Amino acid sequence: MTWFKREAEVISRPEIEQMVQQTIDEAKQRLGLTELKRVLLLPPDLTRAHSGAGWITERFYQLLDAEGAEVHLIPTLGQHVPHTPEQNQWMFGSIPEERIHKHDWKNGVVNVGTVPAEFVREKTGGAVDWEMPVDLNSMLIEEQWDIVINIGHVVPHEVLGFANHNKNYFIGLGGKRLLGASHMASAVYGIENNLGNLLTPVRACFNYAEEHFLGDLKDVYFQVVMDYDDAGKLVHTGVYVGDDLETYFDAARASRDQNITQFDEPVQKIVAVMQADEFHATWVANKAVYRTRMAIADGGDLLVIAPGVERFGEQPEVDALIRKYGYLPKDEVLELYKTEADMQDIPHGTAHLVHGSSEGRFTITYAPGHLSKEDIEGVGYQYMDVEEAQKRYDPAVMKDGFNTMPDGEVVFYISTPSAGLWSTKAKLAQRATHEQHV
């Protein structure tokens, strides 16, 4: 059930920190414990740092540590590159490095069950007919915790409709087989059928897994929702704390209302900026593609300014896969997937090729900090020099929304693409939806 929630135009940091303490107090009360002796914190990785998840996690640690609890932390990386100690300090502040553990998605997982192929087939409307082996972080499963506290930002997402909640477990702490099966299922079902839907097929599969395989796990979700204030700054507008699906739905409904920008007509050109301290690979910087694709006109252009991008994939084998095949339309990828062993070996990477494609509908231009023109054009994108892009579309001058440049060019500028979803009203209305099951 939802333990408590707070919604307002702006929720301050002191107010959120008070809710952190309230969560700890209620956890002890609900579990019938006078103290929490051993606690696991599961925050997102640094690509969600703008949500304040780092300092929220640090506050949980400080309060629990002051009470004498043994507190551990696993950033829910999925298959992203583990944080360096410097990145941990940047995001999580004073939490000791020895209490922060790296998720090993290949060798550090154990199987807790399987989502049956029949269930997957039903939820995808017959589009997918494979099972999902639920392999999860062994530290989560094999060690004893008084409570597991999930911390995160609920925002539109390309696989699960909205991020966070049990995504922390099944993507963030998932193994290779689960990551591959779930990402490929989302790609086959269609990224635009997932974005901003409360209940996607993969989310339904994860809900099945949570109910059947994690029923004995004592946990709670501390979720935030953010929106832009009148000055164009991202602020917290909702905090949702609880231990069930309704807690997710509460937050996701708020995010749906606040974080989806709808257009009457498609936009000809969008300029999106991916922050250098958060986004180092197109694997994550392509959120700019995912979150804007439903707003861009046929024949339009998306410019992604990504000064921190230095590679394509998060691992060498995924980077090599992207360089080999490039970003391709879904039908081409699925045809290749039938015969190509490297695609079959890392299906989460194969799914990424689909997610990052415009399906030939619009042009994607990248202005990366550390990849060459040849690199970018080699994967099917167009290239722009990052200094030229930053000079023309100066973040200090551009405002979120429509901007008219000195030469008359009209562009829609987005400073934080990962914080929302942009779409025409028609695209939102015409896609498949499973929300009748909510």
Pair 210, 268 in one domain: no
Q: Is residue 437 part of a domain?
A: no
Pair 375, 393 in one domain: yes
Pair 148, 176 in one domain: yes
CATH number of the CATH domain containing 148: 3.40.50.11440
Q: Are 6 and 238 in contact (CB under 8 A)?
A: yes
Q: Are 16 and 223 in contact (CB under 8 A)?
A: no
Pair 257, 284 in one domain: no
Pair 237, 277 in one domain: no
Please count the residues of the chain. 438
Q: Are 101 and 77 in contact (CB under 8 A)?
A: no
Pair 217, 301 in one domain: no
In this predicted structure, what is the pLDDT of residue 431? 67
Pair 32, 15 in one domain: yes
Q: Is residue 348 part of a domain?
A: yes
Determine the 3-state secondary structure of 235 from DSSP. Answer: strand
Start-to-end C-alpha separation, the chain: 15
Domain boundary among 205, 229, 261: 261
Q: Is residue 365 part of a domain?
A: yes
CA–CA separation, 137 and 148 (whole Å): 13
Domain boundary among 228, 245, 261: 261
Q: Is residue 375 part of a domain?
A: yes
Residue 281 belongs to domain spanning: 264-430
Q: Is residue 382 part of a domain?
A: yes
Pair 173, 90 in one domain: yes
How confident is the prediction along the chain (438 residues), in pLDDT tens digits per residue?
Answer: 799 999 999 999 999 999 999 999 999 999 999 999 999 999 999 888 889 999 999 999 999 999 999 999 999 999 888 999 999 999 999 999 999 999 999 999 999 999 999 999 999 999 999 999 999 999 999 999 999 999 999 999 989 999 999 999 999 999 999 999 999 999 999 999 999 999 999 999 999 999 999 999 999 999 999 999 998 899 999 999 999 999 999 999 999 999 999 999 999 999 999 999 889 999 999 999 999 999 999 999 999 999 999 999 988 999 999 999 999 999 999 999 999 999 999 999 999 999 999 999 999 999 999 999 999 999 999 999 999 999 999 999 999 999 999 999 999 999 999 999 999 999 998 865 544 444
Determine the 3-state secondary structure of 212 from DSSP. Answer: helix
For helices 53-66 and 13-31, the axis angle rounded to 10 degrees is 50
Domain boundary among 226, 261, 296: 261
Pair 308, 256 in one domain: no
Return the H-helix or E-strand segment holding 367. strand 363-368
Pair 26, 72 in one domain: yes
In this predicted structure, what is the pLDDT of residue 315? 87
Q: Classify the C-alpha dihedral 76-77-82-83 as positive or negative.
A: negative
Q: Is residue 93 part of a domain?
A: yes
pTM above 0.85, yes or no: yes
Q: Is residue 243 part of a domain?
A: yes
CATH number of the CATH domain containing 301: 3.90.226.30
Q: Between the CA of residue 414 and those of 94, 228, 233, 385, 403, what are the distances in Å?
A: 32, 12, 12, 19, 11
CA–CA separation, 130 and 127 (whole Å): 10
Q: Are 71 and 61 in contact (CB under 8 A)?
A: yes
11: phi then psi, degrees, rounded to nearest 5:
-115, 120
Domain count, the chain: 2
Pair 278, 399 in one domain: yes
